[in-house]
Structure 1
Amino acid sequence: MPSAVRFGVNYTPSEGWFHHWLDFDLDSVRADLDSVAALGADHVRVFPLWPYFQPNRTLIRPRAVEDLVRLVDAAAERGLDVNVDGLQGHLSSFDYLPAWTRTWHRRNLFTDPEVLDGQAAYLRTLAAALAGRPGFLGMTLGNEVNQFSTGPHPDPDRATTEQIDAWLTRMLAACEEGAPGALHLHAEYDATWYQDDMPFTPAQAARHGAMTAVHSWVFDGTAQRHGRTSVPTEHHGAYLIELSKAWAEEAHRPVWLQEVGAPAPLIPAAHAAAFTEATITAALDCPDLWGITWWCSHDVSRDLADFPELEYGLGLLTNGRRPKPSAEVFARAARAHTYAPKPRTTALVVPADPAARSHCAPGGVVFEAFFRLTADGARPTTVLDGRAEDAAHLAARGITEVVTPDEVLAP
């Protein structure tokens, strides 16, 4: 078990947001990274915008790749490791997809042979450019790319679970070809765990890549249903960490809480520090946690138009690089946390059938039972229904008690 958990931030440039790639200013990036390092963070997750880096299927812009390398090197100079997301994809309510996949050139992101060739070449190129650089952790395929695969996206690139499995396998292999041995993974938003018809499945999330990534946002119905100071809201990140373990084939597969933030107005600015502290404390009580990466580093500038209101204030730092109260909470945890969680010995049974994922969503019986147990101090984890009587599996995970949602929620 590690003696410490990695603490980092999702890097949102203070000048130009992710459009800074168009006018890359290394001095501005360095100032941003100085303000991140001052929080005690040890890593950042960074986001090339796919259309800016690969505007044509056979053109990956050398200057853009060079700028990414310069950013990674600048981070390393400040003691910050870097994970790089490839296919952006989707960020803060905006889609960024290259023109060679849309409108007159409309081709499926997950199944079209030429698109797949282009994506694989792009991921391989980025990984190869960064291979061996000090501080380069590895690639994440993209940010929440599952949102393109079905509703509620207004124009989805529909695919079957089998096609998604093939896509994940090929794209992760491309990253490995570019940077052998690095920590390559994929990451989706919580519809993977909650939405019955999502072709990206929990099993894929927990079995493909170097570790499992979860993204925790309490605007998914959790805070609306239960309130900002409730057990479900304050432990939502911990819930997703433990929920993911039901599908993992390795007893102690690492889990990365790769995105978590305090979204207004459900989490008002005056409560953001308390929410940050509660969320981090709960996550640190989860065994096999690799890291916590807060969304995000810096606020979005009010000079930029059309973002949802909540996006403007999610930073630990203001747009002027000043720390907020939530940054002080984060910094204390990053510098002084201890990580020695006891095993979670009580396991809640969850259905393996991906068509029953809504049981795990806010209001579902698994969700509600998990937080009933949490409120009672039971520190639950989860186990698939098909493994609930597998003595070897339970023993490997330290589970000594198995309960069903019906048993927990019975009057």
Structure 2
Amino acid sequence: MPAAVRFGVNYTPSVGWFHHWLDFDLDSVRADLDSIAALDLDHIRVFPLWPYFQPNRTLIRPRAVEQLLQLVDAAAERGLEVNVDGLQGHLSSFDFLPSWTQTWHRRNLFTDPDVIEGQATFLRTLADALADRPNFLGMTLGNEVNQFSAGPHPDPDRATGAQIDAWLERMLAACEEGAPGKLHLHAEYDATWYQDDQPFTPAQAARRGALTAVHSWVFNGTAQRHGRTSVPTEHHAAYLIELSKAWADDPRRPVWLQEVGAPAPLIPAEHAAAFTEATVTHALDCTDLWGITWWCSHDVSRDLADFPELEYGLGLLTNDRRPKEAGLVLARAAREHTYAPKPRTIALVVPADPAVRSVCAPGGPVFEAFFRLTADGARPTTVLDVRADDKEHLAARGITEVVRPDQVLPTPQGGTRS
């Protein structure tokens, strides 16, 4: 891995939020990108809303694609590379699905042949249009599309793990057909790692696509259970990075911390900078880290209704493009960080069976044992139970000691670690 990690931001337009595609204003976009570039970040992740770009299964609006290209070119003028999410999908509590998948045309997003063909065509079209842009990093299939596949979504598109695997293969192939050799990947929210009935599995996340993406949000029970300045809260992103490595076949597979932010009120605004600094510092202690992409660039305008309260203040910049203290912290890290983490030599055993992956969730024995080790000064990683005795695998990752959660946590009677 390089001596520097990529630092970027998920781009939330300051005017109109992602609805800016309906009234696209290139001057406003340029002003937003100027304020991002001033933080010394090197890339952005952008979100073309799927129903705005493909309102009919056989209509991908040329004007919308051209506006996306204008945004990417404006980013290039400011030294910013761009990752483009395709199937939006789900953003900030709102679902954006085209009408040809809903109500009278209700069809499963992951198994219906016509929907799959439409999705693949859309991803291939975007990738092909972007392929010759030198600052185009690659495609992410969509933002946290796994939330559509199971509860707690109120109307999930149920699918088996095998069906999801076939869907991922088809979508990633479509991106590669459109833009060969680019960094194409998929990204899910943390139910992939924590929820037993999720058909999107940890193995898929860690083995399909050019790298592994993790999205770290401490409102998942971590901050509620442990508090704002606790070891689990400040190390949660590092934990997901290291947890993902248990399932990777490539011992040096890159991991992208693609989403992480400071959600109020669990992380009050006055503490967002400290949380940002702690999260970044601990993530930089993980080997094979590709980059850190903060959520998000600009605050959501209070003129827009019905967002969850936390969404309005997540920006590194205010809605009028002024940098906040957390933004200055990330800018300083981007400028000054060095990246030379040593291998983590102690590995915590994780069950390979995704049907019991909730042991890795907040409150579960893997989760709690990882942070007990961390609090004691160790630098743990994870390993699957089926690889715990694989000397070649352990050596390739620099692991010299393997422990089980029950060897780390106190006994039920309150005794000490065995």
Structure 1 residue aligned with 2:252: 252
Alignment of 1:275-354 (within 5 A): 275-354=275-354
Instruction: Provide, for residues 287-324 of structure 1, a one-character-per-residue CA deviation record: whole Å limited to 9, x for no partner.
Output: 00000000000000000000000000000000000001
Q: Is the 8 A contact 1:65 1:126 kept in 2?
A: yes
CA shift at 1:132, angstroms? Answer: 1.7
Structure 1 regions of 5+ residues with no counterpart?
Answer: none
Structure 1 residue aligned with 2:45: 45
CA RMSD of aligned residues (A): 0.4
Q: Distance in 1 between matches of 2:399 and 2:40?
A: 34
Q: Distance in 2 between matches of 1:251 and 1:391?
A: 13
Q: Distance in 1 between matches of 2:212 and 2:60?
A: 29
Alignment of 1:218-233 (within 5 A): 218-233=218-233
Structure 2 residue aligned with 1:144: 144
Q: Distance in 2 between matches of 1:39 and 1:265?
A: 25
Q: Distance in 2 between matches of 1:77 and 1:238?
A: 33
Alignment of 1:189-200 (within 5 A): 189-200=189-200
The residue type equivalent to 1:363 in the other structure is: G
Q: Distance in 1 between matches of 2:59 and 2:23?
A: 19
Structure 2 residue aligned with 1:89: 89
Q: Distance in 1 between matches of 2:247 and 2:80?
A: 31
Matched, 1:273 2:273: yes
CA shift at 1:377, angstroms? Answer: 1.1
**TM-score by structure 2 length?**
0.98
Q: Is the 8 A contact 1:238 1:286 kept in 2?
A: yes
**TM-score by structure 1 length?**
1.00
Structure 2 regions of 5+ residues with no counterpart?
Answer: 411-415
Q: Distance in 2 between matches of 1:76 and 1:168?
A: 29
Matched, 1:396 2:402: no
SS of 2:340 mapped into structure 1? coil
Q: Is the 8 A contact 1:73 1:134 kept in 2?
A: no
Structure 1 residue aligned with 2:107: 107
SS of 1:297 mapped into structure 2? coil
CA shift at 1:134, angstroms? Answer: 1.9
SS of 1:7 mapped into structure 2? strand
SS of 1:186 mapped into structure 2? coil
The residue type equivalent to 2:408 in the other structure is: V
SS of 1:142 mapped into structure 2? coil
Instruction: Provide, for residues 371-391 of structure 1, a one-character-per-residue CA deviation record: whole Å limited to 9, x for no partner.
Output: 000111110000000000000
CA shift at 1:402, angstroms? Answer: 0.4
SS of 2:65 mapped into structure 1? helix
The residue type equivalent to 2:58 in the other structure is: T
Q: Is the 8 A contact 1:344 1:381 kept in 2?
A: yes
Structure 1 residue aligned with 2:18: 18
Structure 2 residue aligned with 1:122: 122
CA shift at 1:277, angstroms? Answer: 0.2
Shift >6 Å, 4+ stretches: none
CA shift at 1:162, angstroms? Answer: 0.3
Q: Distance in 1 between matches of 2:104 and 2:150?
A: 21
Identity of aligned residues (%): 86
Q: What is the aligned length? A: 411
Structure 2 residue aligned with 1:6: 6
